[in-house]
Amino acid sequence: MNRTATRLLLNNLYYALFTAGMVYFGVLQRVIAGEYTLSTVVVTFIWVLSGLGVIAFDLIDIIALFKPTPDAE
């Protein structure tokens, strides 16, 4: 695997852990304690969407790295 693909995979791992942490600290702890509000849920939902968006775009880049390129004529 080349360095670019490795970097993108590590970036995906970072954002996946970041998103999971935001969900846990942003919502689950407050839901368990009964302190959640609508704004807490909305902000965490935005965090999750942004984290998943970064992961999706990185996966698209990784797939593009391994696709064969047509020969230039």
**pLDDT recorded at residue 3:** 76
pLDDT of 15-37, one tens digit each?
A: 778 777 777 776 777 777 877 77
Residue labelled with tokens 């935005």: 46
Number of domains in the chain: 1
Q: Are 44 and 34 in contact (CB under 8 A)?
A: no
Per the domain annotation, does 73 fall within a domain? no
User: Quick check: 72 pLDDT over 60?
Assistant: no
pLDDT of 35-66, one tens digit each?
A: 777 777 787 788 778 777 777 877 787 777 77
Per the domain annotation, does 71 fall within a domain? no
Per the domain annotation, does 61 fall within a domain? yes
Full domain range(s) for residue 49: 3-66
Q: How far is CA 45 from the centre of its chain?
A: 12
Burial zone of 44 (CB within 10 Å; 0-12 exposed, 13-18 middle, 19+ buried): buried
Per the domain annotation, does 15 fall within a domain? yes
